[in-house]
Amino acid sequence: MRILIISKALVVGMYQRKLEELAALPGVELVAVVPPYWYEERVGVQRLERAYTDGYHLIETPMRFNGRHHIHYYPGIGRLIRSFRPDILHVDEEPYNFVTLHAATLGRLAGAKVLFFSWQNLYRRYPPPFRVIELINYRLCAAGIAGNQEAVGVLRKKGFRGPLDVIPQFGVDPEIYTPDSREPKDRPMVGFAGRLVREKGADLLIEAVSRMKSRSVQVQIVGNGSERSRLEHLASYRGIRDRVTFRGAVAPADMPATLRSLDVLVVPSRSRPNWKEQFGRVIIEAMSCGVPVLGSDSGEIPNVIGNRDLVFPEENVDALTHKLEQLTSDDELRTELGRWSRQRVLDHFTQASVARRYYEVYRRILAGAPLESEDRDARR
């Protein structure tokens, strides 16, 4: 099975571990195409890292309109497709982006089965030419991968009738995000990690901790953003500024140790008309470290956490306060939930398990068989 994956996300070295796992599966010959860098306005330039490159070919090729999600493309991709002649061409991009149309057209001409990937969990009608691009890609592509459950409904509503499965874009490496021995603390540490913007809800965590009966709970806020000053003022106003540490951004290499230092991670995202949580990668990173995660019911968060007892309604500070008091006061419960969380990641969200799920999709598409999600739907 010859597989060609096109993905700007793979400039990040740790994501390449999925490709090593995929390349090790039976009968796979794998090539991945990446740009020399990707520019994101919010974070700047991310240059290609070559971290996990065993067993497959990682090909760096120039990109036009780098940093522009909707119109970028790879001018040399046609030559690579014709040279490799893949059975599967996986374009790791939304169906309304030009890069998907460009690669899918060339892939179909070469006889490949083409797949796209979508995170989009809000229904949006795009203006020309992007709506036209989207509709053409629906006809060109043999299947789609949705990063979350709600994206499936959006794709169906927008007209895609082909096979769909729900698989995260990447998993987590359980050999990096590992638990440590957890001794009970006199001063439990509750954490938040993410952008400090209104929709991520860090203010809800500060409000909840200020309402807790225990005054020993500490808070660690990891990340930067436009809300930081307001959050610092809020912590002072609520009388807990001495218990809240603002760490700023943490380097990716330091993130496992940062998460291991927590007793509970809180993901209190709030949905907006133009945004809701699509996955929440920090959730599986913390769970892999054996850290219980409390999350709001925004978007995909409940499906990722997988335990309704660890989910609270968006904006409901009282519910979050109650769940925090339960977890921070019960060492045995935290330990039990930490073990459960780690096992959930091992079962569903490692790079190896995600790679196997993609492999099964590719295999079924080539065989003309329904995808696993379609089998499940048919049995209901």
Q: CA 41, CA 33: separation in Å to the nearest integer? A: 22
Q: What is the pLDDT of residue 331?
A: 93
| Cβ partners under 8 Å of residue 236, min gap 6 | none
Q: Cβ–Cβ contacts within 10 Å for residue 306, how many?
A: 18
How far apart are the C-alpha atoms of 341 and 255, rounded to whole Å?
A: 18
Query: Residue 38: beta bridge partners?
Result: 46
pLDDT tens per residue across span 221-241: 999 999 999 999 999 999 999
Separation between Cα atoms, residue 1 and residue 366, nearest integer Å:
9
Whether a cis peptide bond, with omega within 30° of 0, leads into 129 is yes
Per-residue pLDDT tens over the stretch 274-333: 999 999 999 999 999 999 999 999 999 999 999 999 999 999 999 999 999 999 999 999
Domains, the chain, ordered by start: 2-171+351-379 (3.40.50.2000), 189-348 (3.40.50.2000)
Average pLDDT over residues 57-63: 98
pLDDT tens track for 88-115: 999 999 999 999 999 999 999 999 999 9
Report residue 371's pLDDT band, with 50, 70 and 90 as the boundaries: confident
Tokens of 258: 């940062």
Q: Work out the angle between the directed axes of helices 331-348 and 351-367 (0-180°, nearest 10).
A: 30
In 3-state terms, what secondary structure has residue 87?
coil
Using pLDDT thresholds of 50, 70 and 90, give the confidence band for residue 43: confident
Average pLDDT, rounded, for the chain: 95
Cα 287–chain centre separation: 14
Closest C-alpha among 313, 277, 310 to residue 293: 310
- Least reliable range by pLDDT among 138-142, 248-252, 349-353: 248-252
